[in-house]
Structure formats: C-alpha cells, structure tokens
Structure 1
Amino acid sequence: MWCRLGLSQTSATAGYQSLKISFRSETMRASSLCLVFGLVLLMARTSEAQPHASVVPKRCCFNFIDFQIPNKKIVSALKTSSRCPSPGIVVTTPRTEFCVDPAEAWIKSFMENHPA
C-alpha cells in the first residue's frame, strides 16, 4: 500500500482528534498521490465544520473612499446588511459604486435628506 492513514476517534465526540498520515513508498509519484489524498481528506473534514449559508452577505464594504461625492451624481445610497463585518453605505453613481463610511458628515446629511 502507498500510504497508511491512521485515525483516532474519541467515544465522546464524533470529531477526529488527530489525523496521521505516514508515507511508505519507493517512488516520488506514490508519495505525491498519498499527499494529495491526505490533503483532500483534510479539506473535506474542515469544510464540514464551516456553515454553508449566509456567512457574508452579497454586498459588504471593506474599504471606504476618502472623498466626497457630489449629491447630484448620487443615484442611490443604501446601507449594508447588519451581518456585514463593518457598517457601510453603498453609493451608486451613473458609472460605478463606492463604499462610504457611515460616520462621514456628508453622507449622514445626504441620507437624512434622501430617505430610502
């Protein structure tokens, strides 16, 4: 056999405490195959632990612009979801979208005068 996979499992939990892969091969190809197989198993195991739904919404702001957009150029301004890592406002102009920090005075004024 190319490689031996040793798994130890506790009776209290269904998760694996350790995953040991030991290589036994005479050729580099067999070692590579064993390594790939081990990585695939590890990726499959860790992907099960991650929730599949709604980790981050479609629209979140991670970087904010540092300039003011003229009010006449703004088509829409929408707050990002509360599930986003940081609050933001997505400002849409005829050409593109920008993320604006909601603490900026000019966007606060715009949002007050143009409720959604």
Structure 2
Amino acid sequence: MWCRLGLSQTSAAAHYQSLKISFRSETMRASSLCLLFGLVLLMAQTSAQSQAAGPIPEECCFNFIDFQIPTAKIVSALKTESHCPVPGIVVTTPRTRFCVDPAEDWIKSFMEKKAAQQNKK
C-alpha cells in the first residue's frame, strides 16, 4: 500500500499523526462549544425560573421538629409568611430556632394563649 501511494512508511505515519491531532483538536473545540452553549442555556433557564417564582422568604419552614418544646423556654413564636411554600411556625428559644408544624396540638394551644394575652393588653 505504501508503494502505491508513493509514500514511505515514516511519512505515512507522520501524515496520519497530523490528521489524528487536527481531528482531535476540532472534536475538542466542537465539544467545548457544545458544553459551553449548554451551560449558558441552563443558566438562563434557571434564572428565568427563579425570577418567575420570586424570592424565597428568609423565615420559611421546610422541615419540622418532631418533639414538643417546653412553653417556658419559648421566647417567640411567629407564623411564616403567606408566600412561603409550606405553612409553619418559627419558634425561638434562648439558644436556637425551630420550625413547628401548625397542626401540632401543643403549638395550637400555645398560639391561642399568646393571642388571648395580646388581646388583654
């Protein structure tokens, strides 16, 4: 085969290597451009979704505790904002804050007592 093309074996190998290198670089450039284009589209999509949904408020509850907090340790208990995805109550103690499910009986009675105390004032 080398004889028919009039090439020596070393020049054929060099020609093949140069073709292989240029093909790899072209393939790498195309792959890089596709990856970059995909990332730009993903960022645009994510940005559009976050703007449409609006900002998530700071005081939203996503996970709730599964134990009762002694009422003597509760410093404050506030309902989450209405545009939070899940309703909840943020309970603050001297050390930390907890999210409580508003359907819990103990927090319902605490909130009712708190509302009654505020109505007396």
* TM-score bucket of the superposed structures, by smaller chain: 0.5 to 0.7
* TM-score after normalising by structure 1: 0.67
Q: Which amino acid aligns with 2:83?
A: R
CA RMSD of aligned residues (A): 2.2
The one of 13, 26, 38 aligned to 2:24: 26
Would you say how many aligned residue pairs link Structure 1 and Structure 2? 92
Matched letter for residue 26 of structure 1: R
**How far has the Cα of 1:71 moved from its partner?**
0.7
Q: What letter corresponds to residue 75 of structure 2 in structure 1? A: V
Task: Show CA shifts across 1:44-93 (max 9, x none).
Answer: 43145325273421111111111110011001000001111111000001
Runs of at least 4 residues of structure 1 off by over 4 A?
none
Q: Which has the higher strand share?
A: 1
Instruction: Give structure 1 stretches of 5+ with no counterpart.
Output: 1-24
Q: What percentage of aligned pairs have identical amino acids?
A: 57
Residue type at the aligned position of 2:62: F
**Alignment TM-score, normalising by the size of structure 2:** 0.64
Unaligned runs of 5+ residues in structure 2 are 1-22
Higher Cα radius of gyration: 2
